[in-house]
Chains A and B, each alone.
Chain A
Amino acid sequence: MVDPTAGPAATAAVPRLATRPARLDGLVVGLVANPKKNAEPFLDAVGELLAAEHGTADVVRTRKTSITDPIAPAVLDELAQRCDVVLIGVGDCGSCSAAAVADGIAFEAAGVPAAVICTDAFRVSADAMARLQGSPGYTYVTTAHPLAPLDADGVRDRARLALPELVGMLSSAVPAVAR
Chain B
Amino acid sequence: MSIDENALAGLRSTLEADDYRMALAETGDRVEVTITAGPAACEDCLVPKPIMRNILHAALGVPEDAIVLKYPADAS
Residues of A within 8 A of B (CB): 1-5, 66-68, 93-96, 98, 121-125, 128-129, 131-132, 145-146
Contact = CB atoms under 8 A, between A and B. Distances in A.
A66 B69 CA distance: 24
Interface residues of B, number: 18
19 contacts: A1-B48, A2-B48, A3-B50, A4-B50, A4-B51, A4-B54, A94-B47, A95-B45, A95-B48, A96-B45, A123-B10, A124-B11, A125-B47, A128-B55, A129-B47, A129-B51, A131-B54, A132-B54, A145-B17
Given A93-B18, A94-B14, A94-B15, A5 B44 contact: no
B13 interface: yes
Contact of A128 (B44, B45, B54): B54
Nearest to B10: A124
Nearest to A2: B48
A122 B14 contact: yes
A63 B73 CA distance: 27
A68 B42 CA distance: 12
A128 B51 contact: yes
B46 interface: yes
B48 A122 contact: no
Nearest to A10: B54
Contacts of B7: 124
Given A121-B14, A123-B10, A124-B14, A67 B50 contact: no
B66 to A, nearest CB: 18
A105 to B, nearest CB: 14
Contact of A124 (B42, B45, B55): B55
Contacts of B51: 2, 4, 98, 125, 128-129, 132
